[in-house]
Amino acid sequence: MRIAFMGTPEFALASLKALVEAGREVCGVFTQPDKPKNRGHKLTPPPVKVYALSQGLPVFQPATVRDAAALDLMRGLSPELIVVAAYGKILPEALLQIPLYGCINVHSSLLPAYRGAAPINWAILNGETRTGVTIMHMAKELDAGDIILQKAVDIAPDEDAQALTARLAELGAEALLQAVAAFEAGGAPRFAQDPERVTYAPMLSKELSPVDWTRTAHEINCQIRGLIPWPCATTDAIGETVKLFASVETGEKTAFPPGTVTDTGKNGIGIACGDGLILRVTELQAQGKKRMSAASYLLGHNVPTGAAGNPEK
């Protein structure tokens, strides 16, 4: 079966590798154009492109897949199946109709929950304890196609979005191979999504970053974990604006107002939350500095505790 692959970031790379290592015929790879990164703004190829070239696979990076040129590129490959995994753009209906067996998508949620661009992040942000991957037939409406198969996993209490993404990428690759085998065996199943259970996972923005310390310790911990690696939760509760990378729910109670630094030490920086509990920040990043442990940060910074540490005081 001739398979055209469409994907861009690390999450997609696991699926492409699985197809190649399983000996599947990948006739072409579509990925996003190279983008400038870091301070030097050097053009950097996406992970899928780097791997595809290392395997001698044809790589295409059209600026859009909605024009005749991109459609002609895909038609020229004569794919029997198109596999999409975090490609980064919505595909036009004309492209979905090209392959004999249609297009399938590796989506990082248990659909119909969390349709959209950031399902892994929103699952953590919303305090979910379970998520997974869905392989689905693609349809005109975003993430609304019939389900082929799903695999579920528990979300670890201390797991951030970056770590969960890596786990789901491997799970998605495993599920993808099962779906491809189903097509070859005579047809992949179709299970319609329940419209009553649809939820959405919109794109992330920096507007989600500022921590509201009147929320519960658990909600703030989910915010910190869910916004890794971007845009990251931020706070100025310790005297300057910092990004928060890790925290621990201590279960300790405090009478200090929300946002007050309760204590500091080798175990991190304790901050009072709206439910009267302490959340301990254990990793952070000051502006212009590298990510570091809170203990390392405290070696070079005086963080007042008690009412003096509360910006509102």
- How many domains does the chain contain in total? 2
Per the confidence metrics, is the pTM higher than 0.85?
yes
**For position 101, what pLDDT does the model report?**
94
Count, residues in the chain: 313
**For position 312, what pLDDT does the model report?**
42
- Domain with 282 in it: 206-309
d(CA 148, CA 290): 43
**For position 41, what pLDDT does the model report?**
76
Residue 129 domain-assigned (yes or no): no
Residue 19 domain-assigned (yes or no): yes
- Using only the alpha carbons of the chain, give its radius of gyration: 22
13 with 86, same domain?
A: yes
Residue 218 domain-assigned (yes or no): yes
Residue 25 domain-assigned (yes or no): yes
**For position 186, what pLDDT does the model report?**
86
CATH of the domain at 87: 3.40.50.170
d(CA 245, CA 44): 25
**For position 187, what pLDDT does the model report?**
81
Which residues fall within 8 angstroms of residue 40, CB to CB, at 6 or more apart? none
86 with 226, same domain?
A: no
Each residue of 79-132: pLDDT tens digit?
999 999 999 899 999 999 999 999 999 999 999 999 999 999 999 999 999 999
pLDDT beneath 50: ranges in the chain: 308-313
31 with 100, same domain?
A: yes
d(CA 213, CA 235): 9
171 with 275, same domain?
A: no
**For position 311, what pLDDT does the model report?**
44
